A and B are shown apart, each in its own frame.
Chain A
Amino acid sequence: MTDTARQRPGDVVAAGEMAAAGPARPRIDFARWRDLSLVPVIFVLGVIGFIVSPAFLTQDNLIGVVQQSTELGLLVLGEALILICGRMDLSLESTIAVAPVIAMWLVLPAHGARFEGLGLLPTWTAIPLCLAVGAAIGAANGFLILKLRVNGFIATLGMLTMLRGLQVGVAEGQSIINVPESFRYLGKADWMGAPAAVWICLGLYAAGGLALAYLRHGRALYAIGGNPEAARAAGVRVDRITWIVLSVGGLLAAFAGILYTGHYGSVAASQGNGWIFQVFAAAVIGGISLKGGRGTLFGALTGVLTLQLVVNVMTLGGVPPLWNQFINGSIIIVALIISRYASGEKQD
């Protein structure tokens, strides 16, 4: 009774005592359109880009944009899954660098190159090792958050700093340039006219989206994020699933690290530094609720593309690089406001 104000739609129906969906149809459709709220923004950015520079609508430029979106996109994918189930992981931005570094450290020969590894394992294990490290980092976060019940924000913040330090320590503060061939392949290969990374990224988004929509454990993420107590009372194994999601997040970050490393042919000491802000911005702009339980991966993907397009358009428009940061930040805020009103939902 106390929440009559929120019951309007129900009342309308009650008045007719009809269980059919008839009168409320537009509302449901609107909810469906919510995920598309950034599509017009992307379109407008495209028009602006076209006006600003004829180079914008060329194949090279557009492929460049999506290629650059892949690494950020994978981080956002991982973060989106984690956010949907009501947690957050700041350490993803360190995982993207530390996972490849540890993998290389274990496989690269101990002598002969500038970066001296341990040479413990054969080179082909580089990619599996890298992914395993990412998953292990996610699992460690899960241990801190779910078993020790420490605050997730601070725990992963500590993890972020610690892993960055680990990477700097192992790589002795340098960039690693003797990257294993398997890394290089994924970062550089072209499949069907587009970089392999783009296809992989799209494939993972599609898989993730399908899992969230059609798998019982995927659906469970929304229940866990929306109300973990209710999910637990309904028999959902909340902790186990959350733990898996955190590991998957780390795994995806490590995979992003592989693509990034392969693409640029090296692991820079600052790889991923400061990305987490972009990751959160893209996720929230894309309609993922920071409180959990709401959002879609398609929305997150549009968030990523929006951010990358802004950067691209600014570069083409000849904005002085010193102003990049300022404009980037303001665009995030503008996009946030637009998506807030386009979706009609508060983002608190």
Chain B
Amino acid sequence: MNRRGFFALASGAAFAAPLFATRATAAEPQVRLRELYNNDMSFTDFALEHEGQRVAIEGFMAPPLKAESEFYVLTNRPMAVCPFCSDAAEWPNDILAVYAQRVVDVIPFNVKIITRGTLELGTYTDPELGFVSRVRVVDAVQERA
């Protein structure tokens, strides 16, 4: 399946995020982003066991697709944009779409962060950005690691 994003022009439509959950107070289990995916892009046992639960994921904030947004993409390694690799954004397969609780303060792409939120699995197409994701963290907050 195609997991790469397709970016519609900014439409001004209300930003619609998937199901939000109430933030838990207990300390979340913390893993690295790569621990959500197997090499064949199937979900790991950790991902399957924590669907719908609060988790903390270590990764890097990709340069935002849109200013003043609650949405960003978490990557396993810093999202280096290679001028000779492609003429367009090349998303790796192992990414995580994040819907934050509030408009995100951008953190440089090469600074490790921890994103805390509720893990959602399954294909979802963002109605505004057209961004297709297979795994998301919603109701999220993030901080430098």
Q: Is A bound to B?
A: no
Which residues of A line the B interface, CB within 8 A? Answer: none
Which residues of B line the A interface, CB within 8 A? Answer: none
